[in-house]
Amino acid sequence: MPTPEQMIAAVHGYVAAFDAGDAEAAVALFAEDATVEDPVGTPAKIGHDEIRTFYTASMQTGAKIHLQGPVRVGEDYAAFAFQVRLNWEGKSSTVDVIDIFRFNADGKVAKMEAYFGPTNFGAAS
């Protein structure tokens, strides 16, 4: 099982990859058979190819991630709150999100779930 420090480092690596627009660096954090459900309730993206396609499209929006508070870890899970800032339909917008990563024994993200919905969208101030 990965250490808390390894899981926290992975979250920070994820944020850095997203902000750099580096889909390959993001994908490298995931296990080959990982699943990404973003947002929860949508069909899961399974495996590196689908995850890469998803992150490439997400990063092309110019969105940036800003952590809101510390990464929380327990057992093989890490949870973190963040705000996405992007231009959406010509307006500066925000989305408040909580992601949960479950790690495998090799320290790779095996499952990612993103929690947000219509009430979490707002105008950037």
Query: Residue 52 contacts by C-beta under 8 Å, 6 or more apart in sequence?
Result: 23, 24, 27
Using the Cα atoms of residue 35, residue 45, residue 30 and residue 122 in order, give the sign of their dihedral. Answer: negative
Query: What is the Cα–Cα distance from 6 to 104, expressed in whole angstroms?
Result: 12
Catalytic residues: 14, 38
Could you tell me if 50 and 33 are in contact, meaning their C-beta atoms sit under 8 angstroms apart? Answer: no
Q: Terminal CA-to-CA distance of the chain, rounded, Å? A: 41
